[in-house]
Structure formats: structure tokens, C-alpha cells
């Protein structure tokens, strides 16, 4: 009963309007983070590298980017700077394993 009783509250949650972009080169971590945020009624998309993340950020609006600090090629710190410059309304959380 606890799960079904909380479902309507989640359906009306402002989180539904919140789109999150997960950026991590590790597919296992990406899937885990996608599941975590989706389970809390967030709209989630993901990217496996900085270039893909920039494409997705250019094509859609996101409220939050969860970015791996160390990735092959361009890193999460560089991506964070680009997000701050081009999409200042997007919050960023930097993670590392």
C-alpha cells in the first residue's frame, strides 16, 4: 500500500519537469544512475562522452547534468566549463569513481 499511495504524489512531482543528463563513459555506471533518477520520476537521458553530451545539451533542455570527472578524451571538468558558459541555467554535479 505504501508504494501505491506514494505513486500519485510522484506523478504530481515537479521532478517530472526536470530533465537530467548523465555523462559517463562507463556503461554500468550510466545505467545505474539512469535507473536511480528515473525511479524518482525524473526524465533521464545519457551520453557516453563529452561530444555526445554537447550534442544532447544543444538539442534539448536539461535542468541538471551529472558528469563523470575523468573520461577518455575531453574530461568532465572541461564539459562543466562548457556547460557553465553555454547553458548557465543547467546545474552540474561532478562525480568520480
Give the DSSP per-residue string, the chain.
-HHHHHHHHHHT-GGGG-EEEEE-S-HHHHHHHHHHHHTTT-EEEEESSHHHHHHHHHHS--SEEEEES--SSS-HHHHHHHHHHH-TTSEEEEE--
Least confident of 1-5, 31-35, 71-75: 1-5
User: Does 95 or 7 have the greater pLDDT score?
Assistant: 95
Per residue in 66-83, pLDDT (tens digit) is: 999 999 888 999 999 999
- Domain count along the chain: 1
CATH code (residue 64): 3.40.50.2300
Q: Is the pLDDT of residue 1 over 50?
A: no
pLDDT at 74: 87
Q: Which domain holds residue 84?
A: 2-95
Per residue in 4-19, pLDDT (tens digit) is: 444 334 444 555 458 9
pTM: 0.81
Amino acid at each position: 500500500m505504501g508504494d501505491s499511495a506514494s505513486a500519485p504524489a510522484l506523478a504530481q512531482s515537479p521532478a517530472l519537469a526536470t530533465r537530467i543528463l548523465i555523462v559517463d563513459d562507463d556503461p554500468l555506471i550510466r545505467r545505474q544512475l539512469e535507473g536511480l533518477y528515473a525511479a524518482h520520476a525524473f526524465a533521464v537521458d545519457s551520453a557516453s562522452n563529452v561530444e555526445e553530451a554537447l550534442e544532447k545539451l544543444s538539442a534539448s533542455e536539461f535542468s541538471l547534468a551529472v558528469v563523470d570527472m575523468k573520461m577518455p578524451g575531453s574530461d568532465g571538468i572541461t564539459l562543466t566549463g562548457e556547460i557553465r558558459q553555454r547553458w548557465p541555467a543547467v546545474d552540474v554535479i561532478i562525480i568520480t569513481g
